[in-house]
Amino acid sequence: MTEAGETPRREPWRSNPVVRVAAYGGWGVGLAGLLAAGLLYGQAELARRTIPMAQEPPPRCDGRYGVEHEGPDIRLAVIGDSSAAGYGVERARDTTGALLAAGISERLGRPVDLRCHAFVGALSATLPRQVARALAHRPDLAIILIGANDVTHRVKVTVSASYLVDAVTTLREAGAKVVVCTCPDLGTIRPIRPPLRWLARKWSRELAAAQAVVAVQAGARAVSLGDLLGPRFATAPELFAPDGFHPSADGYVVATSAILPTAVAALTGVADEMPTAAGDGLRSLVDAAIEAADNPGTEVSAAVVAGHERGPAGRWAQLRHRVRQLTERPQDPTGAGSAVPLRVVGQHKDRTQPSTE
């Protein structure tokens, strides 16, 4: 499936490990065959009516963050769909891009020049256009969040993966570091009811695992988002926006906190000094991708063992469980009484909006 004006994609991954990861949840194929097609169709239509269409675009977050810091700007590009754009929040400082820019600036002590190219409803097929715009800004780091709309539109995993690997390759060839945040688990979305929810979970995790494989193969780091918000929804419904589909400002904090350590590591080439968690370590890339899809907040990156990139089971990968790095949020420096996830510093130290100079 392609959008109007897009060139149909080749599928170079059909004999690739992507096919293996796409089949790891194979029970769902049999389940889909047993379920009545009419039931699934009816549920899908109900979910579409329950989840409202975007009424207006997210607030723009482009600008310079942390300008009180010295040194050259870190040029950051955010690419992808509504989650990358920050749909569901009202303030620029609560968007994914702003949170990441503020966090990177705070961690590295340098200003960050942010450009967000993401938009609501984006499919992987839109990545070529977004990457072309991003390259005009010559980014040092590009963060990609994509995949949820590919699942809802039932785009083939191999087709989605092909767009993603081309995007990562193009960015890497231009000198940018790349972090790919893999498809979230749509099985956590409350407007989607079983049994459609079970299929949505399976499809999401298949795509997430495939995205991790091709991202690492192309030179990026991958971070799984999975059901990062799901387990907390029952006790903390404020993590979702009123539509029940997109994260709220608090929800974006949770997701961004899992992404931030990998973004910093990508820029510096140095992993954090957190103690090794149970389950961290070397895997084959396919095994690491599958495990990450089932464990939100997990980073997958390329590894070398005894001077070799590949082992008996294929390319080596390093697995790190980043989700344990979630932190307490400081209080809103404006004194408004609400908590904010990360201080977004603009032209003056007491401002919480980006400078657009």
Q: pLDDT for 309-339, tens place per residue?
A: 888 878 899 998 865 444 333 333 333 333 3
d(CA 292, CA 183): 11
Enzyme catalytic residues = 82, 243, 246
Write the pLDDT tens digit of every residue in 12-55.
Answer: 444 456 655 555 554 344 444 444 344 444 545 555 554 445 45
d(CA 254, CA 321): 14
Domains detected in the chain: 17-325 (3.40.50.1110)
Token duo for residue 350: 């007491």
d(CA 331, CA 7): 48
d(CA 149, CA 141): 24
* CB of 148 closer than 8 Å to CB of 187: no
* More confident of the two residues 29 and 291: 291
DSSP designation for 218: T
**Rounded to an integer, what is the distance from CA 327 to the centroid of its chain?**
19
Predicted confidence at residue 154, as pLDDT, reads 83
Predicted confidence at residue 206, as pLDDT, reads 93
* More confident of the two residues 66 and 237: 66
**Rounded to an integer, what is the distance from CA 56 to the centroid of its chain?**
22
Instruction: Please tell me the least confidently modeled range out of 58-62, 108-112, 309-313, 333-337.
Output: 333-337
Mean of pLDDT values over 149-174: 94
d(CA 171, CA 178): 7
The span from the first CA to the last CA of the chain, in angstroms, equals 40
Instruction: Please tell me the least confidently modeled range out of 32-41, 164-173, 249-258, 259-268.
Output: 32-41
d(CA 260, CA 225): 12
Partnered with residue 133 across adjacent β-strands are none
Predicted confidence at residue 357, as pLDDT, reads 43
d(CA 96, CA 253): 8
Partnered with residue 63 across adjacent β-strands are 114
Predicted confidence at residue 345, as pLDDT, reads 33
Predicted confidence at residue 36, as pLDDT, reads 37
Q: In the predicted model, what is the mean pLDDT of the chain?
A: 75
Task: Quote the pTM value.
Answer: 0.78
**Helices and strands: H and E segment counts in the chain:** 12, 10
* CB of 320 closer than 8 Å to CB of 264: no
Angle between helices 37-50 and 196-217 (to 10 degrees): 80
